[in-house]
Structure 1
Amino acid sequence: MISFSEYDQLDALAMADLVRTGQLTAMELCEAAIARAGAVNSQINAVVHPLFEPARLRAGAGLPAGPLGGVPFLLKDFGAQYAGAPHTSGSRALRNFVPAEDAELVRRWQAAGVNILGKSNTPEFALMGVTEPVLFGPTRNPWNLAHTPGGSSGGAAAAVAAGIVPLAGAGDGGGSIRIPAACCGLFGLKPSRGRVPTGPEQGEKWQGAAVEHVLSRSVRDSAAMLDATQGPDAGAPYFLPGPVRPYLEEVGRPPGRLRIAFSLGHPLGSALHPECMAAVRHAAQLLESLGHDVAEVPLPFDGRAVASAFLMLYFGETGASIAALAKVLGRPARPRDVEPTTWLLGLLGRTYSAADFAAARHTWNDSARRMGRFHQTYDLLLTPTLATPPVRVGELQPKPGEQRLLKLVNTFGLGGLIRRSGIVEKLAEQSLEKTPYTQVANLTGQPAMSVPLHWTADGLPCGVQFIAPLGAEDVLFRLAGQLEQAQPWFARRPVLPG
């Protein structure tokens, strides 16, 4: 039996190599992951659907001999469906929903050889930058249990940071890979729009803004998994040229002398937390020491326009998700089926017109063109991943007065009145104030990554974000590999009580 101290020193590729050479078995890795979950999950609430017995059976029967053969893995309880397993999307309305078919991405993950141990916690419909669903309760950050691991892939991030698994499935529609990576001291890459499959049922997710990949401790694990999953599936609406060489090979290649611009401006004009500012300045200094050309610039996109366009998507997709519950419930959804905030978002989605939505899509295109012109001068944009270090659990939940307002609005269907009052814009701006940097890459489709290069004075991770041109994941992996070598983070681990 492998001990946790031994297990925790291995990334996914190292585990797979030991299985392939006969030095470890998939069963030993499976048992080590299950034992670690048993030791820490009650503290962090990361795994909400354990699938331990099926995982043991697969480990005993033999897993595909893929590049990650035998590696313990978790699926996010939203997005990538896994046949025969609960798929709640963090919602009470779907607590009994079990899909009959695997998503194409899940098929590719399994073909890579991972052993699925369970599903990780997520906010309802993956709507929040924190992971605090009413259905399962909040997930806590292993670095400090009073703080959030971020969202919406917070359960995945907490599980990886706590050493349950070396990597876990995640999704990103507005920052939901990069935000928890920044909060939990992990590497998190959002691939380009169209890089990984969304089938067999969906052609695109969130109008193309959302894409799925993984959270990991090492850069090479992320690269290896993208090698295993990239490429279109049948009926894909987007096509990107394949990589010049495997992404795993990019991790060790010199990135060359990159032109990197950084910005400390807040997209909504608010104050940036000093620790997040320090994280970017430290990264800029590190980049200069590695030979890159670094310059400070204003943000090359209109932050308020991006926020407004993203919120239109946010409201509209929530309304569509609530309407789609009728297929599972056998009746139209009611306010009590979902959380009050979710119901309000859905109400707001129904108050906007098709013309409003089309105008928001024009902003997407404008932002993509602005970023395209920016990349004619600079290879990468460096920003904070978040405008603040990880907030405390419960800090972003509605206050008592807001809860009373939500109840009134939802009871009487006053979404239109609330919209006209201007309260929505105020609350929305407050919501995005702490996470204003990630959405632009979702709207433009560009790849972006959060890299763990800074910890706050009180020991909380504080990631920085790099945005690359569409299709340039290779550039991100080369730079991430260089940064990981220059300032290693793999061995920097949280210590959980008990």
Structure 2
Amino acid sequence: MDVHEYARYDAVGLADLIRRGEVGAAEVETAARRALTGAHTALNALTGPLFDVPTAHDPRGPLAGVPFVIKDSGPFARGVPSALGSRGLLAVARHDHTLMTRLRAAGLTALGQSTAPELGLNFATEPRLHGPTRNPWDTAFGVGGSSGGAAALVAAGAVPFAHGNDGAGSLRIPASACGVVGLKPTRGRTPCGPDAGEAGYGLVTEFGLTRTVRDAAHLLDALGAPPLGEKFVAPAPARPFAQALLRDPGRLRIAVTTRPWAETQVDPGVAEAALDTARALEWIGHTVDEDAPDLEPEDVVEGCVLAATATGTALLRSPHPPDPGALEAVSRQVLAEARRCTAVEIAGALQAQHRVTRAVSRFLDTHDLLVTPTLGRPPAPHGTLDYDAPGHSVRSWLRRILSYGPFTAPFNVSGHPAISLPVAQSPRGLPIGVQLVAAAGREDLLLAVAAQIEAALPWHDRLPPAHV
């Protein structure tokens, strides 16, 4: 199997080839290593050399032999070091994250680690440790964040799936910037153990990035069993999520909005992509109206403070807290504010989280889905969101990045499932994503309608110039 043939297949397609004996897992690994090396040379999307030996996996798993990459977002796979995108941190996982255990059981094999911004607290992947990760559509532009290296490698055809996580848009934003599929499952759908009962006060969800909706559905089936002993547990689906792609969801009531909750202007082309998607859904047979949850922008900011504070607190409680002098400016501020944060402040942020959760839940009790842009504008040039810029408080930094990506964070605060689909392009040829949001636990509906959009507004023939 050569690199060009390898890059044609999604994860389900590769697994099917291996299962039928048309290609060996070793051949797939060889092609993936070549593809990853070439993509990294062009895009700077890996944290270092590929693993000498791929991570162990179950050869009987449903996706046996399919390669992927791990995000540099903390200890995740036993024995694999993580710097969290920082010059001042390094940790080696002593045991697997529960999601990594499930990835192994599914048969997926990790070949390397993708880049991320320091501490994952940016919508740009440009850490001082590694330098900017470049967009495969135009290397003068960024890839979003924080799962930016993961999205770039999937978009470039180097891997069909890449691990990532999402605390304020960190899967959906790079999915939009790189032209791939980014699903954030319902809070409690995927695990955050064995060391934590919740991640970022429930804002952070583990999953990944794919090129196809069917890969997202099959991976959710493999990774999304209810976690035992965790604070949040999403309801089990009535049937496998992959089956939702084969079922007609019926005539749905869908809302669309291009009005951001942060104070920012939305690019007209980005807004039009969301409206075009809504028109396509109306043509399919759904009822569509313009409407949106009534949210207070400061409640969204205060809800996001919880994730930043949790990150800082975890570092302060670690056996070897980082030297602030080795951190970028916003990271130093996160640590400083976490050190002096009070229980009263946390209680206030939790109340803001509850208000957002209730407002979104009420809205999705009268609508089946909500359609929005994913980002407020096309991908930004490198340096637009400078994480090493001094003078920011945690809140001023959050307002800064939410003005760039104003549509994703409310659904981390509320815990609802959301997906970004690469339905359009800017006049310059840069990807534009559209976000769909569903009620808690309704990934089946989200994926069924995403599959309808994938068929109506297909993106698979659009390949970036830096595709392998």
TM-score above 0.5, yes or no: yes
- Percent pairwise identity: 40
Normalised by the size of structure 1, how large is the TM-score? Answer: 0.90
Q: 2: CA distance between counterparts of 1:67 and 1:374? A: 37
Question: Per residue, is there more helix in 1 or in 2?
Answer: 1
The answer as to 2:172 corresponding to 1:173 is no
Paired residue for 2:256, among 254, 257, 262? 262
Match of 2:29 in 1: 30
Counterparts of residues 369-380 of structure 1 (less than 5 Å): 369-380=358-369
Deviates more, 1:335-344 or 1:43-52: 43-52
Match of 2:224 in 1: 230
Normalised by the size of structure 2, how large is the TM-score? Answer: 0.95
Match of 1:251 in 2: 245
The answer as to 2:351 corresponding to 1:362 is yes
Match of 1:468 in 2: 438
User: Quick one: structure 1 residues 398 and 198, their matched pair in 2 at CA, closer, same or farther if it must change by over 3 Å?
Assistant: closer
Match of 1:50 in 2: 49
Q: Deviations over 1:218-238 (max 9, x none)?
A: 111111111011123332222
Paired residue for 1:320, among 300, 313, 316? 313
Deviates more, 1:29-38 or 1:80-89: 80-89
Q: Deviations over 1:72-131 (max 9, x none)?
A: 111111146111111111122223x21121111101001111111011101111111111
Q: 1: CA distance between counterparts of 2:159 and 2:153? A: 6
Deviates more, 1:73-82 or 1:122-131: 73-82
Paired residue for 1:382, among 334, 355, 371? 371
Q: Deviations over 1:394-422 (max 9, x none)?
A: 121168xx54x57xxxxxxxxxxxx6xxx
C-alpha contact (below 8 Å) 1:448/1:465 kept by paired residues: yes
Return structure 1 stretches of 4+ with deviation > 4 angstroms. Answer: 424-427
User: Quick one: structure 1 residues 52 and 360, their matched pair in 2 at CA, closer, same or farther if it must change by over 3 Å?
Assistant: closer
C-alpha contact (below 8 Å) 1:66/1:112 kept by paired residues: yes
1:271 Cα deviation after fit? 1.5
Q: 2: CA distance between counterparts of 1:83 and 1:126? A: 20
1:27 Cα deviation after fit? 0.7
C-alpha contact (below 8 Å) 1:79/1:171 kept by paired residues: no
Q: 2: CA distance between counterparts of 1:427 and 1:109? A: 34
Match of 2:428 in 1: 458
1:335 Cα deviation after fit? 1.9
Aligned length: 468
User: Quick one: structure 1 residues 148 and 90, their matched pair in 2 at CA, closer, same or farther if it must change by over 3 Å?
Assistant: same
Match of 2:83 in 1: 88
C-alpha contact (below 8 Å) 1:74/1:116 kept by paired residues: yes
C-alpha contact (below 8 Å) 1:189/1:215 kept by paired residues: yes
Counterparts of residues 61-80 of structure 1 (less than 5 Å): 63-79=58-74
Q: 2: CA distance between counterparts of 1:79 and 1:427? A: 22
Q: Deviations over 1:34-68 (max 9, x none)?
A: 1112222112111214344202x96xxx8522111
SS in 1 for 2:39: helix
Q: Calculate the aligned-residue CA RMSD, in Å.
A: 1.9
Q: Could you tell me which amino acid in structure 2 is paired with residue 393 of structure 1?
A: H
1:239 Cα deviation after fit? 2.5
1:426 Cα deviation after fit? 4.8
Q: Deviations over 1:428-460 (max 9, x none)?
A: 423320111111111111111111111111001
Q: 2: CA distance between counterparts of 1:282 and 1:315? A: 35
C-alpha contact (below 8 Å) 1:267/1:299 kept by paired residues: no
Structure ID, larger Rg: 1
Paired residue for 2:410, among 429, 435, 440? 440
C-alpha contact (below 8 Å) 1:80/1:105 kept by paired residues: no
C-alpha contact (below 8 Å) 1:49/1:86 kept by paired residues: no
What runs of 5+ residues in structure 2 fail to find an aligned partner? none
Paired residue for 2:384, among 359, 380, 395? 395
1:318 Cα deviation after fit? 3.8
The answer as to 2:10 corresponding to 1:17 is no
What runs of 5+ residues in structure 1 fail to find an aligned partner? 407-418
Q: Could you tell me which amino acid in structure 1 is paired with residue 317 of structure 2?
A: A
C-alpha contact (below 8 Å) 1:267/1:304 kept by paired residues: no
